[in-house]
Amino acid sequence: MNHFKSLFTLAIVASLTACSSAPERSASDLSDEEVVSDTAPGIKGDAMNVEVLSASGGISTDGSSMDQSLDGMKMVDIAELYEPIVYFGYNQYELDDKTTELVKFYAQEMMAIPNQKVVLKGHTDERGTPEYNLALGEKRAKVVAQAMMLFGVSESRIDIVSFGEEQPAVAGSNENAWQKNRRVELIIN
């Protein structure tokens, strides 16, 4: 039930951001070209917003939009709301409740479409040494892989590759950029 509740909250928030912001990004948009580009388009209604809003109980400060968002939620395709990227804390390679939920969502999607495969691309921010970060990126991808297997996806459908700090999603040497670069991208096709 808890899981469902957080999913519910996420959906509200996501629909709010979806109303006002750019087109959504689906898994197939994550081509190599985009990964190597300076600014990752689509990382706008991002995890950080989700975190901030759900902490205040998911109540919009703009009260008038509350009903709309609930209405909107019913029509939203959840698959388009979840960005297939798992973010991590500095030097961390653990999943929290929220990222576990995200991984579970994609694992279930893969269970429904048995011929789908996933490539997990592990990344770090630029701090620390490049080779340590290469190993750290792999740790992150493996943690996501283990969670996917826990949710039923067989190992043979999962491929892992680490890019360490070599392919940041966002350029810049600041906390905001670093936060978006510590990630595992789920490339499902």
Partner 1 sequence: MTSVNFKFVTFFQHTAQIRRLLLLSITAFSMSLFTVSAMAELTIEISEGYDNAIPIAIVPFGYEVQSTMTPVSSKTVASSQSPEDLAKIIAADLRRSGRFNPLSNAQLPAFPTDVDALDYEQWRALDLDNLLMGKIIDEGNGFYQIEMRFMDVLRKNQVIGKRWNHIPKSNLRQIAHQMSDLIYQELTGVRGAFNTQISYVTLRKIEGKRHYTLEVADSDGFNPQPILKSNQPIMSPSWSPDGKKLAYVSFENGRSQIFIQSLDGKYRENVAQFKGINGAPAWSPDGTKLAMTLSKDGSADIYVMELKTGNLQQLTRKYSIETEAAWAENGQSLFFNSDRRGQPQVFQVFLETGEINRVTYDGNYNANPEISPDGRYLSMVHSNSGFHIGLLDLYTNEFRVLTDTFLDESPTFSPNGEMILYAMNRNGEGQLAVVAIDGKTSQTLKVKDGEVREPAWGPYLSH
Which residues sit at the interface with partner 1, rule CB under 8 A?
A: 33, 36-38, 91, 126-132, 134-136, 138-139, 142, 160-164, 166-167, 171-173
Of residues 124, 188, 126, 127, the one with CA closest to residue 162: 124
What letter does residue 3 receive in the DSSP assignment?
H
Residue type, 98: K
Angle (nearest 5°) at CA 178 between 175 and 179: 85
As a whole number of angstroms, the distance between CA 122 and CA 16 comes to 29
Counting beta carbons within 10 angstroms of the beta carbon of residue 97, is it exposed (0 to 12), middle (13 to 18) or buried (19 or more)?
A: exposed
Minimum CB distance to partner 1, residue 161 (Å)? 5
Minimum CB distance to partner 1, residue 36 (Å)? 5
109 or 138, CB closer to partner 1?
A: 138
8 or 132, CB closer to partner 1?
A: 132
Minimum CB distance to partner 1, residue 116 (Å)? 19
19 or 161, CB closer to partner 1?
A: 161
Total residue count of the chain as it appears in this document: 189
10 or 118, CB closer to partner 1?
A: 118
108 or 189, CB closer to partner 1?
A: 189
Rg (CA), the chain: 16
Minimum CB distance to partner 1, residue 154 (Å)? 17
Minimum CB distance to partner 1, residue 35 (Å)? 10
Token duo for residue 136: 């750290």
